[in-house]
Amino acid sequence: MQIVRQALTVTDLTRKIKQILESGFPSIAVQGEISNFKRHSSGHLYFTMKDESAQLPCVMWRSRATVLSFTPEDGAKVIAAGRITVYEVRGTYQLDVQSIRPLGAGELQAAFEKLKKKLEGEGLFDPARKRPLPAYPKRIGIVTSPTGAVLQDMKNVFRRRFPGLELIMIPVRVQGAGAAAEIAEAVDDLSRYASIDLVIVARGGGSMEDLWPFNEEVVARAIARCRVPVVSAVGHETDFTIADFVADVRAPTPSAAAELVVPDRREILENVADSWYRIQQSVLGIVSDKRERIHNLLNSYAFNRPVDLLRQHSQHADETLRALHRVAAHAFALTSARQGSLDQRLKALDPRLALRRGYAIVRKDRSIVSSTVQVHGGDSVDLEFQDGRVRSTIE
């Protein structure tokens, strides 16, 4: 058998393989057991991942290796995420590892505890670092998956409680290889982007492996250096992640985070109405207080002195008048009494009374004769009796 095809150079072939492999596996996660683990003096990590029937050379560059949440060691079962690269010089392919985490609950728990202890030792969980949330945020940054119910749930709560908001979202993957790096970058971006009042990092419920990105150091560091308060809302109420410990506030669920960061507008409306009511009551109180004081002043002794004086004068006048009446009545009584006695006396002087008793009046030439010397014999006189006159002659 003859070789008739045109021969490629080794370099050409390797380049073709490189192109196919690198474009075919740009982002993968692979699980296996670590062997031949070496930390080079440069800080890069070299190891092999293997299972029963295959092995894969791996490299993790120093820049990524420094934020590892656990120390890989031979025999550890892990999931490594990254891309396939071809090392042309040796004609080998390898996994360029971007992140690595333990596989299996036990290892995850151990890694979790280790990172937790480390960050706690740095004071990242210190209550004094926790910043208060703004009372009335206007712009809220949200780092979460664009798909799924989480964003929708939060929007529903915001609409119900306090719709006057701008939500600034950065969609990220929230699980799997590379998710932690995306989450960390999104938090950093929102931190750099001006005029955001707070950031919510949210994810729905899942297994510990699903939630793992929120237990990675890159995410914890990004949250810790964020310039505005961060609320973590990862998984269900019982799930605690490293992100929860570093965040300024931990919300048990994404919906709870939305509840927590904005007030209920109905409550504020009630408060506003209450304030307005109290203002009205206060002012009414002040006005009626002033009115009462004016009223009291008007009723006071000083203000009523003239009236009082008038009343006194009036009373005095009344009394004077009454006295006057009394005096007048007395005077009248006196006068009329005197009048009566005069009448009597006048009546007593009436000569006709004497005539009735048998006396007679003697007149000569119409003058009354009261003495014998006034008459002489032969004089003609008139005698007046009570019932008439008689002419007679003196002898």
Partner 1 sequence: MAAKKKESPGTFEDSLGRLEEIVQRLEQGDVPLEQAMHLYEEGLALSRVCAGKLKAAELVLKRLSKDAEGNFSLLDEKE
Give me the helix-helix angle, 179-192 and 217-225, nearest 10°: 10
Q: Is the Cβ of residue 135 or residue 321 nearer to partner 1 in the bound state?
A: 135
155 is an interface residue for partner 1 by CB under 8 A = yes
SS3 category, 228: coil
User: Quick check: 5 and 52 in contact, CB under 8 A?
Assistant: no
Return the number of the residue (172 or 219) whose C-beta is nearest partner 1: 172
- Between 79 and 172, whose beta carbon lies closer to partner 1? 172
Asked whether position 385 contacts partner 1 by CB under 8 A, the answer is no
Q: Which residue has the tokens 């370099």?
A: 11
3-state secondary structure at position 118: helix
136 binds partner 1 (CB under 8 A): yes
- Written as six digits, the tokens of 207 are 């297994």
Does position 135 interact with partner 1 (CB under 8 A)? The reply is yes
Residue whose entry in the numeric block shows the structure tokens 């992100």: 243
Among 127, 132, 164, 388, binds partner 1 (CB under 8 A): 164
Residue 16 or 293: the one with the smaller Cβ distance to partner 1 is 293
280 lines the binding site for partner 1 (CB under 8 A): yes
Q: Which stretch binds partner 1 (CB under 8 A): 68-76, 246-254, 274-282, 383-391?
A: 274-282
Query: Shortest distance, CB of residue 121 to partner 1, whole angstroms?
Result: 33
Among 119, 165, 226, 369, binds partner 1 (CB under 8 A): 165
Q: Does 236 bind partner 1 (CB under 8 A)?
A: no
Q: Report the C-alpha gap between 174 and 181 in whole angstroms.
A: 10
Chain positions 180 to 219 lying near partner 1, rule: CB under 8 A, are 189-190, 192-193
Our CB check for partner 1 shows the closer of 96 and 188 to be 188
Residue 287 touches partner 1, criterion: CB under 8 A: yes
- Kindly tell me which residue out of 28, 169, 360, 383 binds partner 1, with binding defined by CB under 8 A: 169
| Using rule CB under 8 A, residue 168 touches partner 1 | yes
Dist. CA 94–CA 116, nearest whole Å: 31
Task: Name which position in 272, 333, 342, 353 contacts partner 1 (CB under 8 A).
Answer: 272
Among 18, 173, 221, 265, binds partner 1 (CB under 8 A): 265
**Alpha-helical runs (H) found in the chain:** 10-24, 62-65, 105-121, 149-161, 179-192, 217-225, 242-246, 254-261, 265-299, 301-349, 351-356
Looking only at the bridges linking them, the beta strands covering 361-364 and 380-385 are antiparallel
**Does residue 149 interact with partner 1 by CB under 8 A?**
no
* 166 makes contact with partner 1 (CB under 8 A): yes
Nearer to partner 1, 207 or 275 (CB): 275
| 278 interacts with partner 1 by CB under 8 A | yes
Q: Does 368 bind partner 1 (CB under 8 A)?
A: no
133 touches partner 1 (CB under 8 A): no
Q: Pick from 57, 104, 171, 206 the residue near partner 1 by CB under 8 A.
A: 171
273 contacts partner 1 (rule: CB under 8 A)? yes
Annotate each residue in 335-354 with x if it binds partner 1 (CB under 8 A) or - if it does not, as one string.
--------------------
The tally of CA atoms less than 13 A away on the side-chain side of residue 149 is 6
CA distances from 357 to 21, 371, 385 (A): 182, 20, 10
The C-alpha atoms of residue 77 and residue 391 are separated, in whole angstroms, by 188
- 232 and 174 Cβ atoms separated by less than 8 Å: no
Place of tokens 């009545």: 329
Which residue's entry shows tokens 């009082």? 308
- Is residue 115 within 8 A of residue 102, CB to CB? The reply is no
Q: Which residues pair with 35 in a beta bridge?
A: 48
Count of residues of this chain found to bind partner 1 when the rule CB under 8 A is applied? 37
Residue closer to partner 1 by CB (options 290, 305) is: 290
Considering only CA atoms, which of 205, 185, 20 is closest in space to residue 98?
185
Q: Distance between alpha carbon 391 and the CA centroid of its chain, in Å?
A: 134
Residues in contact with partner 1 by CB under 8 A are 135-136, 141, 155, 158-159, 162-171, 189-190, 192-193, 265, 268-269, 271-273, 275-276, 278-280, 282-283, 285-287, 290
